[in-house]
Amino acid sequence: MMMTRRQRRWGLAGSAIALAATALFILLALAALLASQPATTDGWIFSAYTFRILQFTLLQAALSTLLSTGLAVPVALALARSSHFHGRLWVLRLMALPMGLPVLVVTLGLIAIWGRQGWANGLLLSLGASEPISIYGLSGILLAHVFFNLPLACRLMVSALERQPGESWMLAAGLGMNSVSVFRFVEWPALVRILPGIAGLIFMLCVTSFTIVLVLGGGPAATTLEVAIYQSLRFDFDPPRAIALALLQIALTGLVLALLATMRRPEERISTLGGARIRFDGRTLAKRTWDTLWIAMAVAFLLLPLDAVVSAGLQADLGRLVTSAAFASAAATSLAIALASGLLALAMSIAIVRGRLTVAETQGAGAGAVAYGRILGATSSLVLLVPPIVLGTGWFLLLRPWGDVSRFAPVLVVAINALMALPFVVRVLEPAMETHHARTARLTASLGMSGLWKLWHIDRPILMTPAALALSFAMALSLGDLGAVALFGSSDFVTLPWLLYSSLSSYRTADADGLALVLGAVCLILAVVGTSGQDSNRSRRAAG
Amino acid sequence: MPQVEPGPDIHLRDVRLVLGARRFEFDLTLRGGAITAVIGPSGSGKSTFLNLVAGFVFPKSGQIVIGHQDLTPEHPAERPVSLVFQDNNLFGHLDLFTNVGLGISPSLKLSKEQRLGVSAALSRVGLGGMEKRKPSTLSGGERQRAAFARALVRHKPVLLLDEPFAALDPGLRLNMASLLTDLQAERKNTVLIVTHDPDEVRRLADDVVFIDDGRVILQAPAADLAARRDIPAIASFLDG
């Protein structure tokens, strides 16, 4: 047995506490929702109103998924084929950016480009289009969802294409396949295996999308469940309706998650060490022009809104803004929340992974232990089942009898943000901890190393980096989050995204632009730091 | 050279174990102070055999006795054994001195004498003056030498080696084998070495234990192995 009894006890106890805390936090919110009387003006969950919202939620998610995945295919094929293109790595890095940026910040950039006065509409009108594209309503929501999800789909597809053995491309060239045959026999089979997984993931993200719909949607004609819940609680103060909507949302995410579980999970592993496959096809001028065109369009689509955020932000009076009392207090609140939720997510993830390692190592583990390991593994999905707004609604109901709910806001936002980050943090930490364990467990056991000395001298030097990366990413998520704060924010509890949203809603555009730049930059740095390890993991193979 | 007490016998008494769908049954005594090669086809249970003695795997029933001590329930750190694996023998982020010193004290609390002992052990295996080097700057052979240095400072009577030379090229293997036989001549340890190399058996081993499908099918002096080509598994092992 490689762990001492003490280590095993800690491993099991720690994970049990983390699991119990997570489950309790989620289940209490659920219980509060279920115990309350859901009702709409018609008296039941399904009214004409909720049905319309459900319909729109599904419609926008389906269209967003279709557009994001469909448009990602030609871009991904072009990128995978352009093994000789030097900027390829930068394009792939650019595609990782949207995930690390606060949704609100990106939305501002999109409005600048695609809004009524935007650059893109000007171009379309001068090209003879009769009507400008509206950034508000369905078209705007779709645009923003494509902005976030096309790059995600694209990276996953490029990764799948790169995992094809190099011999496939040589063989294709040797057999003299033209591009249609290459697509039919090599590329399409590689993509089709992961397409359902990618589409499912994007559908899930769009079904639970909050900020984009809050800013670009509006009115019963373009509202999703999440936003409708928020509006029921904050504006109409109609808790029964919020409950009805929340229950619908859980049923919907549960259904999508169940479907997702049956699909192959797409892996993202892009070789950044120049390990791209050498491709022999796509060398003709026509093919190269085609590829360049798709890549250029994708880059412009991603870069222009980001550029708009930067240039608008630079025009704002940044000096005055960052020295203002409102900014200082919001920044302090945001940082405190981000740090607390990041550390909480980190601690819970470590406990969960250690628990799984302990179970995995238990020799002759009984069915109970195996089941416990599975449950620990499923914790992340449990977290996804109940979106932040729904969690918040549940806790809103639970705490209302105890006085003003906004008093509990900091604690709730920290907890909700930590849960949101949990799946990501586990994903960063688990492989690192597994490898470290595999390398050192026998050795440390045979030398009798344990306790704090081992933690400090053996585990800390190796695991500090992945832990810091995970923390950084978790903090970026929390800093950019508007969802949890939107429910509980008050004049006493203002975070940076909430301050940005308030400036936006009160038409203080210059302030909003400046804030967006600052917030975007901070989140981006944290997210880039947080994901940097994933690329270099393989090059840092510890010797010994 | 002072007379050294030979290492203890190792007894596996009616040891039974099930791992997944595999069953293992061992009942034998390994001669103290001798080098026993543990051989057999891959997946036959050689490493499990070693892990049982080391304490990484616990038997479902039966006893593991080293000398006169029943060690069946003991954690690896409580057993009088040193280990050398095929790889990952050293902590990559710690220098050689620390890696070897950890063999004496798992929290590196070393007396002056012990610190000298670490340096002496490094010299003994041909790594004198390399105390401050990190494992990543060493060759595969040097890393295995450092692992041997750690086994030396531990002064444990039993040495367990799990394919220690498998990752090295043939010249180095020869080299390391003679280091091992030299150390064994000095210390008279009880040595178990898992290997899949018939030459290594001829070169090193006093005895062999041949494991097939979770049980010992032959235990004999190494010199007799060649005569047992009548057993198909052994014939195919010898033909490599």
pLDDT above 90 coverage of chain A, percent: 31
What pLDDT band is residue A45 in, cutting at 50, 70 and 90?
low
Is B107 close to A544, i.e. CB distance below 8 A?
no
Note the pLDDT tens digit of each residue in B84-120.
988 888 888 889 999 999 999 888 889 999 999 999 9
Contact criterion met (CB below 8 Å) for A142 and A212: no
> Which value, to the nearest 10 degrees, does the dihedral of the CA atoms of residues A245, A248, A252, A258 take?
130
Phi and psi, residue B231, nearest 5°: -85, 120
How high is the pLDDT of residue A343? 96
- Residue numbers of the domain that contains A225: 46-84+135-314
- Nearest one of B195, B8, B199, B186 to B84, comparing CA atoms: B195
Token pair recorded at residue B26: 């061992």
Using the predicted structure, report yes or no on whether residue A24 has a pLDDT greater than 60. Answer: yes
A462: distance to nearest CA of chain B, Å? 8
Name which of A55-59, A132-136, B82-86 the model is least confident about.
A132-136
Q: How confident is the model at residue A515, as a pLDDT?
A: 92
| A301 in any annotated domain | yes
The mean pLDDT of B144-158, rounded to a whole number, is: 92
Residue type, A297: M
Across A317-346, average pLDDT: 92
CB A524 within 8 A of CB A359: no
DSSP A84: T
**Is A263 domain-assigned?**
yes
Check residue A11 and give its pLDDT.
86
For residue A98, being part of any structural domain is answered with no
What is the domain-level CATH number for residue A60? Answer: 1.10.3720.10
* Mutate: best of A443, A449, A450, partner B, most B CBs <10 A: A443
**pLDDT-derived band of residue B210, with 50, 70 and 90 as boundaries?**
very high
Helix (H, G, I), strand (E, B) or coil at B107: coil
| Total Cβ atoms within 10 A of residue A446 | 26
Residue B33: CB atoms within 10 Å:
18
B210-217 average pLDDT score: 94
Contact B92, B137 (CB under 8 A): no
Contacts of A300 (CB under 8 A, 6+ apart): none
DSSP letter at A387 equals -
pLDDT at A539: 34
The beta-carbon neighbor of A544 closest among B54, B90, B108 is B90
Sequence ranges of the domains in chain B: 1-80+158-240, 93-155
Mean pLDDT across chain A: 85
DSSP B67: T
A1 touches chain B (CB under 8 A): yes
Which uninterrupted H or E stretch holds B211?
strand B207-212
Provide the CB-side half-sphere exposure for B12 (13 A, CA). Answer: 24
In this complex, do B138 and A2 lie within 8 Å of one another by their Cβ atoms?
A: no
**Largest pairwise CA distance in chain A:** 77
Q: Is A110 domain-assigned?
A: no
Contact A430, A346 (CB under 8 A): no
Compute the distance between CA of residue A57 and CA of residue A206 in angstroms, rounded to an integer. 8
Nearest-by-CA chain A residue for B88: A544
- Rounded distance between C-alpha atoms, residue B70 and residue B137, angstroms: 41
Q: What percent of chain A has pLDDT over 70?
A: 91
Are A448 and A7 in contact, with CB atoms under 8 Å apart? no
Token digits of residue A399: 């705490």
Q: B181: pLDDT confidence band, cut at 50, 70 and 90?
A: very high
Q: For chain B, say whether A448 makes contact (Cβ under 8 Å).
A: yes
Write down the mean pLDDT value for chain B.
91
Average pLDDT value for residue range A214-218: 86
Fold of B1-80+158-240: Rossmann fold (3.40.50)
Q: Per-residue pLDDT tens for A519-542?
A: 999 988 888 777 665 544 333 333
Alpha-carbon distance of A416 to B1, in angstroms, equals: 71
B89 to A439: CB separation less than 8 angstroms, yes or no: no
Residues of chain A neighbouring B75 (CB-CB closer than 8 A): 1, 4-5, 445, 448
Q: What ranges in A36-165 are assigned the alpha helix state H? A: 48-81, 88-100, 103-114, 119-126, 138-162
Record: contact B89-A544, CB cut-off 8 A = yes
Q: Is the per-residue pLDDT at A273 higher than 70?
A: no
CA dihedral A478, A482, A484, A487 (to 10 degrees): 160
Mean pLDDT of A108-123: 83
Mean local confidence (pLDDT), A456-462: 89
Residue of B19, B88, B90 to mutate for A, most A C-beta atoms under 10 A = B88
Nearest C-alpha in A relative to B147: A544
Burial level of A343, CB count in 10 A (0-12/13-18/19+)? middle
- CA–CA distance, A439 with A426 (Å, rounded to integer): 20
Residue A120: inside a domain:
no
Look at residue A464 and tell me whether its pLDDT is greater than 60: yes
**Which pLDDT score is estimated for A59?**
95
Judged against a pLDDT cut of 60, whether residue B38 lies above it is answered with yes
Stretch B143-159: mean pLDDT: 92
pLDDT at A108 over 80: yes
Chain A nearest C-alpha distance from B180 (Å)? 20
Q: How many domains does chain A have?
A: 1
- Whole-angstrom distance, CA of residue A102 vs CA of residue B205: 66
- pLDDT attached to residue A1: 64
* Coil vs helix vs strand at B212: strand
A336, part of any domain: no
A352-382 tens-digit pLDDT: 999 999 888 877 667 888 888 888 888 877 7
